[in-house]
Chain A
Amino acid sequence: MRTRVLLILLGLALLAGLPLVATSYYLYLAELAMINVIIAVGLNLLSGNCGQISLCNASFMGIGAYCSALCTTRLGLPTLISLPASVILAALLGAALGYPARRLSGLYLALITLGFLELVGFVLEEFPDYTGGIRGLKVPRPEIFGFSLQSNRLLYFFVFVLTVGAIAVGYNIQRSRFGRAFDAVRQSPFAAQALGIPVARVKMIAFSLNAAFAGFAGGLLAGVVGFIDPPEFGILTSIQHITFIVVGGLGSIAGSVAGAMVLTALPEVLRGVQEYGELVYGFILLGTLLFLPRGLVGLVARLEALRSAKPPAKEPAYGAP
């Protein structure tokens, strides 16, 4: 446990020190990775802990991105208001989805989230006077108290601090009674109901929290990239988000962080193979799913067990940090 905490702190220190040595390319990549970490932490609460499949995670990211972008460009609001606004809007819409979805599971839940995804895409594309439509929308850099974060380093630091905060919030939620309720609902909705847990309400809360994280990440993405368009928030992106938590390790915060960082870096690492990039990515994904059933977190646990020369008593508990 000690080693784990030290590793985490070492990782944080390295990340914090990145602006010293990195070019704007690596800073940008790290920012994208951190945004994906926020996504993964949120999605993990819904899908990893609460066991609800969602194919519309990218929509909530898009809602957050467009809300933040429009608040800043159309309404002239400062970032410190538009970001929280995106979180709130996304959370509300997450609850709006979670309510009718509360009675569905498995395939049917996946399909209704797919329907939601299409609906959001429709809204984004059909009102170009408001959203810029298919042509996309330019977004200015975030600014704090009137001071625009034009400097790459300041922007990086801004994203870094917010990401660490999001991870801490996610961790605390997982440890709280909400997190335990999520786990109960996943393991057996009937037993949970029998124990007095309001299953439908818990699912709705899970959707809402997931949406909040995704919306937050979307707001940050808009500011970091400076340009958003509807295809960025489609089905492929949603599936990409699911790969973060499945490859990282379902139910685990550390898994979400690791999965998001690795899978954000992977396409960049694969630049060398040029047009074979997609094929190689697919194979790596498939390989990870086949050979690392508990994700990267499971791999680490197995290595630790090997190192301590003890036979692994059992696979790490589902939902270990």
Chain B
Amino acid sequence: MIYKQFLIRFFKISIIALLIELTINMYVDPLNYIRANTKTYFSSERNLKARLIEDGIFSGLMMGSSKTAHIRPTKINFNKKILNASFSAALPEEIYSFLVEHNPEVEWIAIGLEWYMFHESRFPYKENVKFSKNFMDIVRYCLSLDTTIYSIRTIMKRIGGDSSYSSTPNGARNKEKKEAIDRNNSEYKYSETLDRLSFRFDDYKISSRRIFDISKIEDWGKANNIKIVWWISPYNKEILKLLHSKHNKEIDNLPIVIKEKVSNFIDLSHKYKTKDKYWKHDPSHYYQTTGEFFFNKNILPIILNKL
């Protein structure tokens, strides 16, 4: 083969392969990045929630971590449209950027907080968080090997008629079937998660930057005439035991520090701690039904009273 042939063939192979990849990914859009997909199997929550808030009109907004993401807005006793814009491992600076960037015209926002969110040495501070996508982001997505793998898996699931979509249209995680299966499991499998969490709570220190972000969100809400309700998520008693075993004043102080910064706050960390309210294979997340129950009972009254 001469050099010229080598080059022509190299360009042909590369261009054709990349074009095929680009076309498949644009058509399947497995992570619902470019609005070509209505039913996503694989979660890219930050992108998905940004897209959902841009595409709809809502009266209420839920934000927080994966725990909050479990709550189905359709099960909340509020007769207007709610979006659950929570995403996994959310951090205060991300919530702030999300709100400022999308500037949602809602009546209220309910934000679920957790201890990990304020522990910078385990969850490093994210500078310059951005949710919007430019042209190059879309090119990167369409040419990414990860996207291609998700596309192939999505196609397989569509062919098999699988209905285990990662998210419902109003942003909640699709866990209905999984919750029923988990409830029927007789065994609790906690040790691995507890080991991992123990490390996360070591050397706990409240991040002043993130407390400042909480204040910024509160101020942003006041400036936009949006009621913001904050809560600390309920914790499983096993995790509470772990938290207290650290004998760290900073851990105990978190609810006090947050309360000083915001006007509508409720600490639910010790309120729903029995094991039956949590996944058996994952003590850190409550069931969807638990989330919906405490939201209706404890959060909604604050929202309705204050509106």
Asked if A and B bind, the verdict is no
Seen from chain A, the residues whose Cβ lies within 8 Å of a Cβ on chain B are none
Seen from chain B, the residues whose Cβ lies within 8 Å of a Cβ on chain A are none
